[in-house]
């Protein structure tokens, strides 16, 4: 191997230069590949032999069943599931969708919900949000999806507050006690890269199927950002405010309750926004473990290729997401305003009174006009079939069909399949060496070591080929989305107006539950590999575009002015001033794109792929907890490898450019 | 409690910021300067300060930015745990207090106005001012009444329901002042309390604090950058540099006998005649014969200018508040002060 590393003179005092290491790694990889090509590579160096793979899944299964049965954890969890949690879920289900449970009041008429949504919207952000709130629920009711939507919402209204409570509690503990923070931190970063499927199965096993498991998985999924935001907010409270509290003689509890938490309001509310959005995303996904609701319906519709209905449900989900997001964001920026002195009580609370009035009013009206309560099967305005026909005939038009089919053929035959086969042909050690070299080049030594460890674990997990296919899907999709997202961002960043428009579009798109991205993919390409890559591509383009614009916009004006004064052309300015300075920010987008891609690849497995996602979905049907964990861990480890390398690069770059 | 025992007694107080200050201080060779300490990677916020504040006294602390004024005051209220030395408040070592005692002391004895106000952003003016009362567990009506009273006092009536961010800097500062007034503490720490106020309100506030101090015998530790303000208020002035107190004395003595180069420089620009009182220049009688009318010992030399110029006596008798002769003053010495000679 020494023959490959040409610049040995760089070895000074035991310090090996970066170039040398890189070439050594790549050279070693090349040697192994060549050996394979000439057929001299022993089989055990190509793929790790079955015999050498430790029975991780079985061991994990053993551990789980020990915890579950011998330690009796299952009784605890089942108690929670059948006790308090189920009680809450039943109550909300009764109120919202009219499930026959205590308190047997529901369902609340849709008109009441829409009315209250309008008032809440108005209180938070004026007429626009009022219209959005009312419009969303009006649409849901009129299109005949009220019950489904409420099935989803009834889990959401239980899971989100619980996730908030758990998150803020843990956040406070982490802020107060260093050891809690130190214990939580690595767990949170793993949790955030863990594919959502890994949350689902344990939930199913420990908390029975249905809403309870769905709620538990949702809560765990949504808690991490709440913890992080709480800790962040509490740490940021200005020291003088804290001292003012101390000098006022606050006890510890008073300090927390009256000083810290209110002063950290903004961050905590940002956390609330994230909790709500993650809960919605997850509740939709719990369709995979048989949770009824919008997600389940969408899954069924897409599965039977009913594009019109899928489209309508997609719109509902998007509207719900946008409404919840806008309202909770408006709450973040809304600051209390004072009333004039002597304002009477009813005037101070007029919006709350109005909401109550509307709520009760519509309940009463609904007794007379049942249509205000539930819109029946024959009454709604769903145009599912018509849209279906429309879409299908549109896609069948020669021009369109020609393009999509050509694209499908081109991507499949010319790009995806050759790329996949190449990756699969690479011997495992060579593959790992390449990844390590990449991490080393980008992130430095630490990242390289992690990459080596993580990918070796993946290699020994017994799911190497499927992991490589997962990686192949991710890489292809991210590369394609870079080709679209970055130029789009660069063009948009030229004008303030377009930057803002595109940023708004990206912001909105990011709030959609990931399921939504499957709809256009299936519409255009049907159920196959290309559709998977396409859906990931759209999903991953969003952060890329967004951070490209933001990166370019944050380039200090004096630097672009300096370039202008040196007589740089637009292109020169872009290439030699703006892009280099924007790169660290763009790297954040790139990182997010990869994370999103890993996330999406698993969801897209629903369309039918051969990667880890497929296997993961299969585990949900059974009770193979160990295997589920191993698969989830593989995805998580691969994602973490990239995350670390890119983050470390971006941070170093920022510091070097003085942007940090 | 006799009036002669000091309210605050600080002995060899150190406050060092850095990774492990206690260890550093105990291993430090005595006499290390501020810069030496900084070279070791620590910052000496307060450096070996010994000071006493008597009951009913107004002590003004002055010094350049970063000289440790705020830090010293924070040590007095135990917002900072000191690194070395002792601080006693009313004869009790505050470093040995447990949490409960500390809370009680702050609730009942101490008040503080913060340099950058430290208002709670989510509370209205009224709720901010009532906050210490609320923490003490006073009932809603009583604390509302009291809060309205002090809000009126600082001239913010009509803005009770505003939020801090809806107020100007000066108004915010007055909320901070009102908050500390609300509980009428015995000991007051005022960290540049009037820095954002216009001259008119500033004067009103100064008068208010002087009144409180005189009428209710409050003890006040006051930080300011404004020498005129210091002169108006101070019983004694402490001048700090690099965390150490360079000199702590009456204004007259600070101006007339600066202890160090630094203090001399600090007071260089001041018109001494406006600061120095006749009593400050008076020397004991020692049986010397007095002739003619005595001059008022509490008048500044500037106020006595006309007499000094017109009078021909070499030695002037000086009378104290009660009109009794307390000593004599050399006319030449007074003229030197007045005219800036020698
Ligand atoms: N919490 C802290 N951590 C580290 N260093 C501190 C801290 N608080 C103060 N210092 C340092 O102690 C020194 C004294 O600060 P202090 O705030 O007491 O100055 P000051 O005299 O009040 O200045 P100013 O007139 O600007 O308010 C400064 O060098 C400051 O950097
Ligand atoms: Mg200060």
Pinpoint the alpha helices (H) of B154-198: 169-182
Amino acid B125: pLDDT: 94
Closest Cα to residue A263, out of A352, A175, A351? A175
Q: State whether the beta carbon of B17 lies less than 6 angstroms from ligand 1.
A: yes
Q: Is A629:A637 a contact under the CB 8 Å cutoff?
A: no
Give the model's confidence band at B93: pLDDT under 50 very low, under 70 low, under 90 confident, else very high.
very high
Report yes or no: A248 at the B interface, CB cutoff 8 Å. yes
Task: Determine the Cα–Cα distance for residues B319 and B342; give it in Å rounded to an integer.
Answer: 26
In a domain, A558, yes or no: yes
Report yes or no: A344 at the B interface, CB cutoff 8 Å. no
Q: How far is B251 from chain A (nearest CA, A)?
A: 30
Cβ contact A258–B136 (<8 Å): no
B110-134 tens-digit pLDDT = 999 999 889 998 899 999 999 999 9
Give the model's confidence band at A277: pLDDT under 50 very low, under 70 low, under 90 confident, else very high.
very high
Q: State whether the beta carbon of B66 lies less than 6 angstroms from ligand 1.
A: yes
Mean pLDDT lowest for which of A565-579, A600-614, B150-164, B254-268?
Answer: A600-614
Report yes or no: B106 at the A interface, CB cutoff 8 Å. yes
Per-domain residue ranges for chain B?
55-79+98-270, 274-339
Amino acid B341: pLDDT: 59
Is pLDDT at A601 greater than 60 in this prediction?
A: yes
Is pLDDT at A629 greater than 90 in this prediction?
A: no
Contacts of A240 in chain B (CB under 8 A): 114-118
Is pLDDT at A405 greater than 80 in this prediction?
A: yes
Mean pLDDT lowest for which of A58-67, A313-322, A617-626, B32-41?
Answer: A617-626
Report yes or no: A238 at the B interface, CB cutoff 8 Å. yes
More confident residue, A381 or A318: A318
Q: Using alpha carbons only, give the angle A239, A245, A246 rounded to the nearest 5 degrees.
A: 90
Task: Determine the Cα–Cα distance for residues A416 and A419; give it in Å rounded to an integer.
Answer: 5
B266-322 tens-digit pLDDT = 888 888 888 888 888 888 877 767 777 888 888 888 888 888 888 888 888 888 878
Measure CB to CB from residue B112 to each of A241, A247, A259 and give the nearest one.
A247
Is pLDDT at B99 greater than 70 in this prediction?
A: yes
In a domain, A526, yes or no: yes
In a domain, A350, yes or no: no
Task: Determine the Cα–Cα distance for residues A162 and A55; give it in Å rounded to an integer.
Answer: 37
Measure CB to CB from residue B162 to each of A240, A243, A338 and give the nearest one.
A338
Pinpoint the alpha helices (H) of A9-55: 18-37, 43-46
Give the pLDDT mean for A593-613: 78
User: Which CATH number covers residue A604?
Assistant: 1.10.3720.10
Residue of B75, B97, B135 best to disrupt the A interface, most CBs of A under 10 A: B135
Cβ contact B119–A241 (<8 Å): yes
Which protein residue's CA is at the shortest distance from atom 16 of ligand 1? B68
Three-state SS at B3:
coil
Instruction: Give CA A248 to chain center in angstroms.
Output: 43
Cβ contact A263–B120 (<8 Å): yes
Residue of B100, B118, B151 best to disrupt the A interface, most CBs of A under 10 A: B118
Amino acid A608: pLDDT: 65
A21-79 tens-digit pLDDT = 889 999 999 998 888 888 888 888 888 888 888 888 888 888 888 877 777 777 787 78
More confident residue, A196 or A596: A596
Residues 6+ apart with CB under 8 A from B165: A335, B121
Nearest CA in chain A to B102: A249
Give the pLDDT mean for A229-250: 93
Range B16-26 burial, b when 16+ CB lie within 10 A, else e: bebeebeebbe
Amino acid B189: pLDDT: 94
DSSP secondary structure letters along B237-264: EEEEETTEEEEEE-HHHHHHS-SSHHHH
Which protein residue's CA is at the shortest distance from atom 10 of ligand 1? B45
Amino acid B198: pLDDT: 92
Q: What is the mean pLDDT of chain B?
A: 89
Task: Determine the Cα–Cα distance for residues A580 and A551; give it in Å rounded to an integer.
Answer: 10
Give the pLDDT mean for A456-476: 89
Atom number in ligand 1 closest to CA B15: 12
Task: Determine the Cα–Cα distance for residues B143 and A149; give it in Å rounded to an integer.
Answer: 49
Q: What is the mean pLDDT of chain A?
A: 85
Contacts of B107 in chain A (CB under 8 A): 248-249
Amino acid A83: pLDDT: 80
Report yes or no: B158 at the A interface, CB cutoff 8 Å. yes
Task: Determine the Cα–Cα distance for residues B111 and B121; give it in Å rounded to an integer.
Answer: 19
Give the pLDDT mean for A89-109: 82
Amino acid A97: pLDDT: 83
Nearest CA in chain B to A240: B118
Which protein residue's CA is at the shortest distance from atom 3 of ligand 1? B17
Nearest CA in chain B to A251: B103
Measure CB to CB from residue B161 to each of A248, A262, A338 and give the nearest one.
A338
Ligand nearest to the CA of B65: 1
In a domain, A537, yes or no: yes
Cβ contact A244–B79 (<8 Å): no
Q: How far is A627 from chain B (nearest CA, A)?
A: 47
Give the model's confidence band at A387: pLDDT under 50 very low, under 70 low, under 90 confident, else very high.
confident
Q: Is A538:A518 a contact under the CB 8 Å cutoff?
A: no
Rounded distance from Cα B66 to ligand 1 centre (Å): 5
Closest Cα to residue A597, out of A420, A419, A473? A473
A320-339 tens-digit pLDDT = 999 999 999 999 888 877 77
Task: Look up the CATH number of domain B274-339.
Answer: 3.10.580.10
Nearest CA in chain A to B113: A244
Q: Is A401:A395 a contact under the CB 8 Å cutoff?
A: yes
Give the model's confidence band at A275: pLDDT under 50 very low, under 70 low, under 90 confident, else very high.
very high
Contacts of A236 in chain B (CB under 8 A): none
Contacts of A247 in chain B (CB under 8 A): 77, 79, 106, 110-112, 132
Task: Determine the Cα–Cα distance for residues A275 and A225; give it in Å rounded to an integer.
Answer: 7
Residue of B78, B112, B120 best to disrupt the A interface, most CBs of A under 10 A: B120
DSSP secondary structure letters along B100-152: HHHHHHHHHTEEEE-TT----TTS-HHHHHHHHHHHHT--HHHHHHHHHHHHH
Task: Determine the Cα–Cα distance for residues B178 and B37; give it in Å rounded to an integer.
Answer: 39
Cβ contact B103–A249 (<8 Å): yes
**Number of domain units in chain A:** 1
Nearest CA in chain A to B136: A249
Cβ contact B165–A335 (<8 Å): yes
Residue tagged 């309202």 (tokens): A327
Residue tagged 């059974």 (tokens): A622
In a domain, A406, yes or no: yes
Cβ contact A341–B119 (<8 Å): no
Measure CB to CB from residue A249 to each of B118, B132, B176 and give the nearest one.
B132
Is pLDDT at A152 greater than 60 in this prediction?
A: yes
Assign domain B55-79+98-270 to its CATH superfamily.
P-loop containing nucleotide triphosphate hydrolases (3.40.50.300)
Amino acid B55: pLDDT: 92
Which protein residue's CA is at the shortest distance from atom 30 of ligand 1? B66
Task: Determine the Cα–Cα distance for residues A641 and A461; give it in Å rounded to an integer.
Answer: 16
Q: State whether the beta carbon of B115 lies less than 6 angstroms from ligand 1.
A: yes
State what percent of residues in chain B have pLDDT above 70. 98
Mean pLDDT lowest for which of A406-420, A482-496, A502-516, A605-619?
Answer: A605-619
A191-226 tens-digit pLDDT = 877 777 677 777 777 776 678 888 888 998 899 999
A332-376 tens-digit pLDDT = 888 877 777 777 888 888 889 999 999 999 888 888 888 877 777
Three-state SS at B159:
coil
Which residues span the domain enclosing A603? 396-425+462-621
Amino acid A286: pLDDT: 86
| Residue A617 vs residues A197, A200, A286, A623: alpha-carbon distances, Å | 8, 10, 12, 11
B35-45 tens-digit pLDDT = 999 999 999 99
């Amino acid at each position: 191997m020494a023959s490959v590393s040409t610049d040995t003179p760089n070895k000074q005092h035991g310090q090996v230069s970066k170039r040398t290491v890189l070439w050594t790694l790549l050279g070693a990889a090349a040697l192994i590949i060549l050996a394979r090509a000439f057929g001299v590579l022993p089989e055990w160096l190509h793929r790790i032999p079955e015999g050498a793979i430790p029975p991780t899944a079985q061991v994990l299964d053993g551990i789980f069943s020990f915890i579950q049965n011998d330690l009796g954890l299952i009784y605890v969890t089942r108690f929670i599931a059948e006790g308090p949690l189920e009680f809450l879920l039943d109550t909300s289900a009764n109120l919202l969708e009219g499930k026959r449970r205590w308190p047997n009041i529901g369902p609340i008429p849709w008109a009441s919900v829409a009315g209250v949504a309008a008032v809440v919207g108005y209180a938070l952000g004026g007429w626009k949000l009022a219209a959005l709130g009312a419009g969303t629920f009006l649409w849901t009711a009129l299109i005949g999806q009220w019950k489904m939507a409420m099935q989803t919402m009834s889990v959401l209204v239980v899971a989100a507050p619980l996730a908030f409570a758990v998150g803020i509690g843990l956040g406070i503990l982490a802020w107060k006690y260093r050891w809690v923070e130190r214990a939580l931190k690595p767990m949170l970063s793993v949790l955030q890269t863990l594919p959502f499927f890994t949350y689902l199965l344990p939930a199913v096993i420990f908390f029975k199927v249905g809403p309870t498991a769905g709620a538990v998985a949702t809560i765990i999924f949504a808690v991490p950002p709440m913890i992080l935001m709480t800790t962040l907010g509490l740490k940021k409270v200005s020291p003088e405010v804290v001292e003012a509290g101390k000098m006022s003689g606050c006890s510890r509890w008073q300090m927390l309750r009256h000083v810290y938490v209110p002063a950290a309001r903004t961050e905590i509310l940002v956390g609330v926004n994230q909790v709500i959005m993650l809960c919605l995303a997850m509740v939709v996904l719990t369709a995979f473990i048989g949770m009824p609701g919008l997600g389940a319906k969408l899954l069924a519709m897409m599965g039977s290729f009913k594009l019109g209905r899928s489209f309508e449900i997609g719109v509902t989900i998007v509207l719900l997401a946008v409404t919840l997001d806008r309202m909770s964001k408006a709450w973040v920026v809304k600051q209390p305003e004072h009333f004039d002195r002597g304002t009477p009580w009813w005037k101070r609370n007029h919006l709350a009174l109005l909401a109550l009035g509307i709520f009760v009013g519509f309940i009463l009206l609904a007794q007379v006009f049942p249509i205000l309560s539930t819109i029946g099967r024959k009454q709604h305005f769903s145009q599912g079939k018509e849209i279906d026909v429309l879409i299908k005939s549109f896609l069948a038009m020669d021009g369109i069909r020609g393009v999509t089919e050509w694209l499908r053929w081109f991507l499949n035959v010319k790009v995806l399949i050759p790329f996949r086969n190449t990756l699969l042909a690479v011997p495992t050690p060579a593959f790992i060496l390449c990844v390590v070299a990449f991490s080393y080049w980008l992130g430095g030594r630490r990242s390289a070591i992690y990459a080596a460890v993580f990918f070796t674990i993946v290699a020994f997990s017994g799911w190497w080929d499927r992991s490589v296919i997962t990686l192949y899907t991710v890489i292809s999709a991210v590369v394609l989305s870079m080709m679209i997202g970055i130029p789009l961002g660069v063009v948009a960043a030229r004008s303030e107006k377009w930057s803002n428009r595109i940023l708004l579009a990206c912001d909105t798109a990011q709030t959609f539950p990931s399921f939504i991205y499957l709809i256009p993919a299936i519409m255009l390409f049907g159920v196959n590999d290309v559709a998977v890559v396409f859906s990931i591509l759209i999903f991953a383009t969003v952060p890329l575009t967004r951070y490209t614009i933001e990166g370019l916009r944050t380039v200090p004006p004096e630097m672009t002015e300096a370039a202008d004064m040196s007589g740089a052309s637009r292109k020169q300015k872009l290439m030699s001033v703006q892009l280099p300075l924007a790169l660290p920010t763009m790297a954040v987008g790139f990182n997010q794109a990869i994370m999103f891609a890993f996330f999406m690849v698993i969801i897209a497995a629903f369309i039918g792929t051969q990667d880890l996602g497929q296997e993961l979905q299969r585990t949900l049907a059974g009770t193979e907890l160990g295997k589920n964990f191993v698969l989830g861990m593989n995805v998580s480890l691969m994602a973490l490898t990239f995350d670390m390398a890119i983050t470390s690069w971006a941070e170093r770059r920022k510091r070097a450019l003085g942007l940090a | 409690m006799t009036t002669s025992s000091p309210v605050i007694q600080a002995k060899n107080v150190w406050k060092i910021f850095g990774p492990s200050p206690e260890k550093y201080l105990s291993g430090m060779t005595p006499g290390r300067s501020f810069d030496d300490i900084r070279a070791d990677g620590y910052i000496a916020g307060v450096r070996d300060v010994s000071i006493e504040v008597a009951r009913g006294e107004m002590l003004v602390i002055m010094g350049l930015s970063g000289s440790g004024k705020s830090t010293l005051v924070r040590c007095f209220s135990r917002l900072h745990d000191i690194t070395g030395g002792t601080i006693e408040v009313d004869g009790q070592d505050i470093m040995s207090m447990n949490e409960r005692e500390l809370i009680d002391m702050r609730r009942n004895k101490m008040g503080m106005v913060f340099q950058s106000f430290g208002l709670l952003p989510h509370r209205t003016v009224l709720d901010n001012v009532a906050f210490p009362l609320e923490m003490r567990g006073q009932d809603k009506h009583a604390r509302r009444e009291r809060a309205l009273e002090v809000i009126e006092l600082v001239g913010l009536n009509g803005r009770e329901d505003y939020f801090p961010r809806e107020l100007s800097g000066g108004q915010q500062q007055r909320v901070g002042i009102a908050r500390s007034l609300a509980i009428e503490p015995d000991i007051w720490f005022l960290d540049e309390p009037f820095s954002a106020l216009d001259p008119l309100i500033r004067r009103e506030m100064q008068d208010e604090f002087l009144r409180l101090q005189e009428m209710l015998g409050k003890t006040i530790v006051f930080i300011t950058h404004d020498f005129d303000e210091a002169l108006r208020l101070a019983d004694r002035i402490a001048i700090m540099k690099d965390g150490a107190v360079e000199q702590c004395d009456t204004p007259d003595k600070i101006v007339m006998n600066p202890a160090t180069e630094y203090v001399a420089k600090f007071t260089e620009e001041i018109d001494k005649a406006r600061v120095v009182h006749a009593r400050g220049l008076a020397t004991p009688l020692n049986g010397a014969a007095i002739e003619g009318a005595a001059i008022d010992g509490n008048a500044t030399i500037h106020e006595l200018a006309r007499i000094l110029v017109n009078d021909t006596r070499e030695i002037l008798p000086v009378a104290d508040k009660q009109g009794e002769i307390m000593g004599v003053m050399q006319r030449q010495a007074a003229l030197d002060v007045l005219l800036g000679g020698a």
